[in-house]
């Protein structure tokens, strides 16, 4: 968490530091990120930096807080298209809505994606709480799907969660990386061609999970 001295800064100055940190992590990742470059780009002194943050991990965690706040605002007026969606329809809506958020904040998401997924820090101790929130939500969703008969009860829930987590992260990273190459990332993501590609990627995951363990064993 940033120190109170940072929170007391005028918004313009806070944004300058945040934007400099976003560019640094997007361009260099976490391990190679430089506090010297962040302070130079944001126009603050190194001494001021340490009055605002403990270290670069503290800065990166602040970016995660910024994302959480932005997501709360983004999803405030967004709801699933129907009340009777099954688990996989809801998951598809959630992934696509997440893509919309990512493309509305491409540079920020590129920075976070590079650090957490590109460098694999998402699976480390420092971000364990972040991952637990995500995996617990998926676990509850799958358990409910088993109860409702959408997923065969013989499916190993922990393995299924690992598949869904890995698949959704891979899809998000792929779309974000491809989108950053486009002139208009939002237009590209919303295009019928890109939406069809996302549907096909999700189809592979969905029907891999819908297939029962007994069917799999009988074919091996």
Residue extents of the structural domains in the chain: 4-65, 78-218
Integer Cα distance of 77 and 111 in angstroms: 26
Per CATH, which fold does 78-218 belong to? Tetracycline Repressor; domain 2 (1.10.357)
The tens-digit pLDDT sequence of the chain (220 residues) is 899 999 999 999 999 999 999 999 999 999 999 999 999 999 999 999 999 999 999 999 999 999 999 989 988 888 888 778 888 888 888 888 888 888 888 899 999 999 998 888 888 888 888 889 889 998 998 898 888 888 888 888 998 888 888 888 888 888 888 888 888 888 888 889 988 988 888 887 777 665 454 444 454 4
Alpha helix stretches (DSSP H) within 4-104: 4-7, 11-28, 35-42, 46-52, 56-74, 87-104
**Residues 142 and 136 sit within 8 Å (Cβ to Cβ):** no
pLDDT of residue 217: 47
Radius of gyration over every alpha carbon of the chain, rounded to an integer in angstroms: 20
Please give the structure tokens belonging to residue 20. 């400099």
Q: Ramachandran region of residue 9, left (φ > 0), alpha (ψ -120 to 50) or beta?
A: beta
- For position 40, what pLDDT does the model report? 97
Give the list of residues 6+ apart from residue 162 with CB closer than 8 angstroms, or none.
none
The class of domain 4-65 in CATH terms is: mainly alpha
């Amino acid at each position: 968490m940033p120190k109170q001295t940072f929170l007391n800064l005028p918004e313009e100055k806070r944004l300058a530091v945040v934007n400099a940190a976003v560019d640094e992590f997007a361009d260099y990742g976490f391990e190679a990120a430089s506090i010297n470059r962040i302070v130079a780009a944001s126009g603050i002194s190194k001494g001021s930096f340490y009055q605002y943050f403990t270290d670069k991990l503290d800065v990166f965690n602040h970016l995660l807080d910024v994302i959480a706040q932005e997501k709360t605002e983004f999803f405030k007026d967004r709801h699933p298209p129907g009340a009777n969606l099954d688990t996989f329809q809801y998951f598809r809506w959630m992934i696509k809505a997440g893509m919309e958020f990512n493309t509305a904040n491409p540079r920020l998401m590129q920075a976070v994606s590079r650090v957490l997924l590109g460098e694999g820090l998402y699976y480390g101790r420092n971000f364990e709480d972040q991952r637990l929130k995500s995996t617990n939500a998926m676990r509850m969703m799958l358990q409910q799907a088993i109860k409702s008969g959408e997923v065969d009860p013989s499916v190993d829930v922990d393995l299924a969660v690992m598949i869904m987590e890995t698949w959704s992260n891979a899809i998000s990273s792929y779309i974000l990386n491809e989108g950053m190459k486009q002139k208009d990332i939002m237009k590209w993501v919303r295009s019928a061609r890109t939406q069809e590609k996302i549907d096909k990627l999700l189809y592979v995951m969905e029907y891999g999970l819908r297939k029962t363990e007994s069917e799999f064993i009988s074919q091996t």
